[in-house]
C-alpha cells in the first residue's frame, strides 16, 4: 500500500516596521504606507493528502469553518475547478489578533502549496488577486522578506534586501480587532505621503531607519488599551524604542531582551518571543 507523503510547511509571522495612514477612501477603507518584514518565528502547517477536506488548529479561538485557510481552499476551488482534498493541521505559535499576520500567513502558505501541488493552474498575478480576496496582508506573505505596502497594504514593492536584525516581540495576552482601531482614526492623524522620510535610511544606513519609524495605529492602541501601554512604558523605561506591530496588540523592539525584562514578562504573564527579521 502506497504511503502518502506528509508536507510540513513554515508559515512566518511579520512585523510592520512603521505604519502611517495617508488617506481615507470612498469605500471607508484607509490608505496606508507601511514596511512589512517577515520574521523567523512561525506557525507549523502539516498537510496530508486525504479523501476528504479537514482543517484543524491548536487554537481554541478558531472554528474550522471560520478559519481563513478553509476560505482559501474554497476560493482556490472556485478559481481553478480543483477540489483540494487534504487534512491540514496548523500548529499555532503566532498569537491571533496580535498584529503579526498569522492568519494571513497561513492562507498564503497553503495557497502557494496548492498551486504548486496541482502544477500551477494559477499565474503569480492570479494568485495575488485571489490572496487579496482573503485579506489585505495575504499577498505580502506569498513572497515575504521586506516590502513597502501602500493602498490598503496590497500594493507591494519588494526590496532586494533583508535587515537580519535580532528583535523581540511581547504579546500581552489580549486580542485587538483591526477594524476597531481603524474606526478611531481622525483626519488629524493622516500623514502626507511626501512627509514620510524613511526610504533613504532604509536603503542606506538601517540604524537611522529604526530611529525614524513610527506607527499611527500604535498611538491609537496605546491610548485605548492600558495592557499595551504598560508594555510600551516598561520597554521605554528599560531604554528600548518599542513599536506596536500593525494594529496591535503585539509590541516589538530591536535587540535582545535584558534579564530584567525576562523576569517582568514572567511575572506579568506576557509572551516573550525572540526572533530575527528575515
Q: Which of 14, 43, 92, 128 is catalytic?
A: 14
Q: Is 63 a catalytic residue?
A: no
Q: Is 137 a catalytic residue?
A: yes
Evaluate whether 278 touches 38 at the Cβ level (below 8 Å).
yes
Burial category of 223 from C-beta neighbours within 10 Å (exposed 0-12, middle 13-18, buried 19 and up): exposed
Supply 167's cell numbers: 528583535
Which residues are paired to 146 by β-bridges?
37
Mark 36-46 as b/e (b = at least 16 C-beta within 10 Å): bbbbebbbebe
First vs last C-alpha separation in the chain:
41
Q: Which of 10, 128, 137, 212 is catalytic?
A: 137
3-state secondary structure 172-202: CCCCCCHHHHHCCCCHHHCCCHHHCCCHHHH
3-state secondary structure 27-59: CCCEEEEEEEEEEEEEEEEEEEECCCCEEEECC
Which residues are paired to 89 by β-bridges?
46, 56
Evaluate whether 198 touches 213 at the Cβ level (below 8 Å).
yes
Helices (H) and strands (E) in the chain, counts: 10, 10
The set of catalytic residues is 14, 137
Amino acid at each position: 500500500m502506497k504511503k502518502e507523503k506528509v508536507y510540513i510547511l513554515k508559515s512566518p509571522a511579520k512585523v510592520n516596521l512603521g505604519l502611517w495612514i495617508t488617506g481615507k477612501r470612498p469605500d471607508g477603507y484607509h490608505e496606508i504606507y507601511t514596511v512589512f518584514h517577515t520574521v523567523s518565528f512561525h506557525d507549523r502547517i502539516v498537510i496530508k493528502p486525504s479523501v476528504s477536506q479537514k482543517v484543524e488548529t491548536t487554537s481554541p479561538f478558531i472554528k474550522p469553518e471560520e478559519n481563513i485557510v478553509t476560505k482559501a481552499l474554497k476560493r482556490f476551488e472556485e478559481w481553478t475547478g480543483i477540489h483540494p482534498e487534504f487534512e491540514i493541521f496548523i500548529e499555532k505559535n503566532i498569537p491571533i489578533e496580535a498584529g503579526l499576520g498569522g492568519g494571513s500567513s497561513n492562507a498564503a502558505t497553503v495557497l502557494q502549496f496548492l498551486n504548486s501541488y496541482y502544477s500551477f493552474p494559477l499565474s503569480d498575478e492570479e494568485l495575488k488577486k485571489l490572496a487579496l480576496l482573503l485579506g489585505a496582508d495575504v499577498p505580502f506573505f506569498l513572497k515575504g522578506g521586506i516590502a513597502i505596502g501602500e493602498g490598503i497594504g496590497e500594493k507591494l514593492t519588494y526590496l532586494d534586501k533583508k535587515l537580519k536584525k535580532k528583535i523581540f516581540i511581547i504579546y500581552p495576552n489580549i486580542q485587538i480587532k483591526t477594524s476597531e482601531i481603524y474606526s478611531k482614526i481622525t483626519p488629524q492623524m493622516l500623514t502626507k505621503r511626501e512627509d514620510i522620510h524613511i526610504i533613504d535610511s532604509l536603503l542606506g544606513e538601517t540604524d537611522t531607519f529604526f530611529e525614524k519609524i513610527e506607527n499611527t495605529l500604535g498611538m491609537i492602541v496605546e491610548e485605548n488599551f492600558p495592557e499595551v501601554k504598560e508594555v510600551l512604558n516598561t520597554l521605554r523605561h528599560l531604554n528600548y524604542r518599542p513599536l506596536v506591530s500593525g494594529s496591535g496588540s503585539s509590541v516589538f523592539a530591536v535587540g535582545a531582551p535584558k534579564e530584567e525584562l525576562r523576569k517582568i514578562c514572567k511575572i506579568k504573564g506576557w509572551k516573550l518571543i525572540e526572533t530575527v527579521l528575515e
